[in-house]
Copies of this chain bind each other. A is one copy, B any other.
Amino acid sequence: MTVKPILALDIMGGDEGPAVTIPAAALARMRYPEMRFRLYGDETVIRSALSSYPDLAAEAEIIHTDVEVLGTDKPSQILRSARKSSIGLAVGGVKAGEAHAAVSAGNTGALMALAKIGLRTMPGITRPALAALLPTMKSDVVMLDLGANAECDDENLSQFAVMGAAFARIVLGIDRPSVAILNIGEEELKGTDDHKEAADALRAVDLDFTYAGFVEGDKIGRGEVDVIVSDGFSGNIALKAIEGTARLVVELLRRAFRANLWSILGFIMSKRVLSSLRAHLDPNAHNGAVFLGLNGIVVKSHGSANVEGFANAIGVAHDLVADNIQQRIADDLARFNDQRLSAKEQQAAAE
């Protein structure tokens, strides 16, 4: 029997709030008719937004709150107000078993903190990781950790590899993904001791993924591997640097096309080309970063996601629930630990 996913949606989060999240829920429901929703936020506002979507309104459950997380709140205040906000209640819904996954386009820091504290890490996982898809020259690549942890040791990195591979199998549909570690060189002796020890651990085991060694930052966009594992600090720096550079190049193009009449004509003739480029790089097409390694699934949408983007984030949550990523991670982690243990015993016996 497959699970019928019940999703907890933070309706108030994101730049547009219900104007995006409600139509997105309706769109996602058409794609996955078996899915059910719990909608967290201001009931009056939600009811009014739902008026155009009677089918969704008929079966969605609304959980009211008018507490908001404000950008001006101090970090110490954020967590207190966030618990009772639509973000906090949506995460709480997953914790209470009322929903299988939460989806929010709200404040990343608040969502991350609430998810960590509320759901705690899965047995055996020492740190959760933020994973997302990035566009490449070929198909998408899964990258993690994108900023859940500023510092990571070798155990964290190898657990990220196990979790990232499980994620790639579901989201990219690849049976045996290749997994690489982000580093400052490809040679085995590059990077910190933690990088080298994580690499040793991944080389020593035989799981449902292929360890592909170290990759440098310029390989992220090549699409030669399916999963790239990183500490949260440099993963976040890389993600942001990629976003910033894509924006820089597009802005430079825009300026250059305005230069003179010929270039404006060229622009008009190239419009379709440029919009296909924009579509390839569109964050909405890759929307839905996931916190992996917690006792529950939490998906973070871009704050600026449009209806299609938020619906895609809901789709990611749906797939992870339907394919039971939690069980897959637990199973893979158990096999990883077994194999590591017996490798260490063999080593000890040999010495």
Listed in ascending order, the chain A residues whose CB lies under 8 Å from chain B are 75, 109, 135-137, 147, 150-151, 182, 184-185, 187, 189-192, 216-222, 230, 232-234, 236-253, 256-257, 259, 262-263, 265-274, 276-277, 280-281
A259, B276: Cβ atoms closer than 8 Å = yes
- What residue in chain B is nearest A135 (Cβ atoms)? B248
Instruction: Select the residue from A192, A234, A267, A269 with max chain B CB neighbours within 10 A.
Output: A234
Q: Enumerate chain B residues within 8 angstroms of A250, measured Cβ to Cβ.
A: 249
If A220-B241, A277-B249 touch, whether A269 touches B272 (CB-CB below 8 Å) is no
Q: Which of B75, B147, B245, B270 contacts A241 (CB 8 A)?
A: B245
Asked if A251 meets B137 with Cβ closer than 8 Å, knowing A184-B236, A217-B238, A263-B272, the reply is: yes
Residues of chain B with a CB closer than 8 A to A216's CB:
236-237, 240
Interchain nearest-CB distance for A277 vs B (Å): 5
Are A238 and B238 interface neighbours, CB within 8 A?
yes
Q: Is the CB of A218 within 8 A of B192?
A: no
Q: How far is the CA of A244 from the CA of B223 in the complex (A)?
A: 11
B267 A270 Cβ-Cβ under 8 A? yes
Closest to A269 in B: B266
With A150-B190, A218-B243, A237-B238 already in contact, 7 other A-B pairs whose C-beta atoms are closer than 8 Å: A150-B184, A218-B247, A221-B248, A230-B237, A234-B237, A246-B249, A266-B267
A249-B281 in contact given A192-B150, A259-B273, A269-B262 (Cβ < 8 Å): yes
A220 pairs with B244, CB closer than 8 A: yes
